[in-house]
């Protein structure tokens, strides 16, 4: 069966243009989400994947490594990553054939970055995090850390 990846790339490009993303190069886009601290998201199509990454928190303010690891065990689809200098990023990969769910995955990336920023900067709570960072117990009725 002959597959034409350009059709999927065109669909991704059309969607991203519709939400205000800037085309940086063929198959690469930048999207800025307005916020208290604007969130810059990079989106790239490569190797049959839509790759998404967003800078969340600089090293000086980033949560401890063990917190980021715990969050990674608690989330689905997105993941936290650190640079060698300690900056915290949010990343997600999506098969190009599943690009129809790009909107939902971008939403998860934004939510994860906002939650990491809340944990780093929200002085009102030492365990600030959104509901998606809570782990539901095996019974599905209780939340735990």
Instruction: Give per-residue pLDDT as tens, 130-145.
Output: 433 443 323 344 444 4
Average pLDDT value for residue range 80-92: 96
Average pLDDT value for residue range 19-27: 95
Quickly count: other Cβ atoms within 10 Å of residue 99's Cβ.
18
Q: Distance from CA of residue 107 to its chain's centroid?
A: 8
Instruction: Give the residues across from 81 on adjacent strands.
Output: 89
Instruction: Give the residues across from 136 on adjacent strands.
Output: 143
Q: Is the pLDDT of residue 121 over 90?
A: no
pLDDT of residue 57: 95
Q: Is the pLDDT of residue 124 over 90?
A: no
* DSSP label at residue 127: T
Q: Is the pLDDT of residue 129 over 90?
A: no
CA distance 42 to 51: 8
pLDDT of residue 51: 97
CA-to-CA separations, 112 to 7, 25, 130, in angstroms, rounded: 30, 26, 8
Q: Please give the mean pLDDT across all residues of the chain.
A: 83
74 confidence band (pLDDT: 50, 70, 90): confident
> Could you tell me the fold of the domain covering 5-125?
Yope Regulator; Chain: A, (3.30.1460)
CB-based contact 115:127 (threshold 8 Å):
no
């Amino acid at each position: 069966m002959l597959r034409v990846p350009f059709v999927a790339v065109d669909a991704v490009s059309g969607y991203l243009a519709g939400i205000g993303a800037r085309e940086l190069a063929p198959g690469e886009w930048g999207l800025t989400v307005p916020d208290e601290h604007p969130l810059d998201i990079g989106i790239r199509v490569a190797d049959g994947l839509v790759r998404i990454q967003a800078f969340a928190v600089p090293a000086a303010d980033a949560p401890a490594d063990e917190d980021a690891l715990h969050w990674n065990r608690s989330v689905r689809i997105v993941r936290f990553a650190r640079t060698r200098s300690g900056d915290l990023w949010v990343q997600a990969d999506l098969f190009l054939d599943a690009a129809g769910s790009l909107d939902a995955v971008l939403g998860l990336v934004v939510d994860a970055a906002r939650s990491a920023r809340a944990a780093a900067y929200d002085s009102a709570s030492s365990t600030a995090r959104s509901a998606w960072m809570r782990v539901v117990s095996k019974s599905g009725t209780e939340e735990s850390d």
